[in-house]
Amino acid sequence: MAQRRRFSAEYKREAVAMLQSPGVSVNQIAAELGIEANVLGRWRRELRQEPDQAFVGNGRPRDEELAHLRRELARITKERVFCEKRQRASRARRDDVSDDPTMPQRVSHPDDVPVFAGLAQWVLWLGRAAADWAGSGERPVTGADSSAACRA
């Protein structure tokens, strides 16, 4: 199988410029250069349509945009997979407390964590103290009562 030939932009421009000579046809110039007439015609058409953009290199802007969109899709797909993995991992370790070996790995009751155990005991004591105080017959002072007491 023959390998595809590549021509520089300068070569293509010179080949199209040869067509400007009087009395020559596309077939004659193409035969001289050893290329097909339709290739030379395509070069002439590209140069007429977009003189500045003709023969800029391999590929077209459409191909560049497609490549950009594919890269963007790959990046977003990686981010989504990463977030899904992280979400699953955090869901699995939701009750994990610490990597400290002296601490329990999972919290099933507040008394499992020393800080929470002290907090729970304090809340219970506070509840009992409030109940004892309310049981003494005195009425607790609320926000509305305190403002009335200040005015009197």
Q: Is the pTM of this model over 0.85?
A: no
Domain boundaries along the sequence of the chain? 9-49
pLDDT in tens, 77-118: 999 888 888 777 766 665 555 566 666 555 555 555 555 566
CA dihedral 86, 104, 114, 124 (to 10 degrees): 80
Q: Where are the beta strands (DSSP E) in the chain?
A: none
The residue behind tokens 């506070």 is 126
pLDDT in tens, 58-75: 655 667 788 889 999 999
Contact 103, 113 (CB under 8 A): yes
